[in-house]
Amino acid sequence: MQVKNWLVSLFVICAFIVGDIGSGARAGAQAEQALRIDIPVKLEKANVVFDVGHAVFVGDMPFVLGDLSLLANDFKDGNTQGQIIAIFHGDTAYIILTDAAYNKARHVATGNPFAKLVAGLMSQGVQIEMCGATAKSNHWVNADLLPGVKVNTDAMARLTKLAQQGYSQIYE
């Protein structure tokens, strides 16, 4: 019986040692590997419009703000000639409101938590637009919008016009 217990113990110890070695090898292999870019993309010239009509979030952050920042950085890093426009309408339009208008629209007292991010995008050259039809339906005026936000007639007409001008459209 002691020999059997001893063999079982030896087997368990060997299993742990082999498992540790195997996991160490896997961890080392993962640490040595890096992401390989198979299709590097450099944009020399691009005009892009984001159709921002639906609220999609990663946690509490509107996903579109991350995408806009990523593309703005790509433009900067690649010396890309062109323009990025984001047209906010529908249920995402509140993202570009002043603190007071945001509080009223969202029934909160926090102010607009996205205002600095939007301002940062504008400082990177991203043109932020409000759909005039959305603004009218919510009884918003220009003073309700963050500084620098432009108002178009309506999102659908503006997106159509930009498509006719050759802008690539990204739907968020």
Q: Is the separation of the CB atoms in 44 and 80 below 8 Å?
A: yes
pTM of the model: 0.81
Q: How far is CA 76 from CA 16, 70, 80, 169, in A?
A: 51, 10, 7, 19
Q: How open is the CA angle 29-32-38, to the nearest 5 degrees?
A: 105
| Residue range 6-45, pLDDT digits in tens | 434 434 344 444 455 455 555 555 667 999 999 999 999 9
Contact 157, 103 (CB under 8 A): no
Per-residue pLDDT, averaged over 125-137, amounts to: 98
The pLDDT value given to residue 4: 45
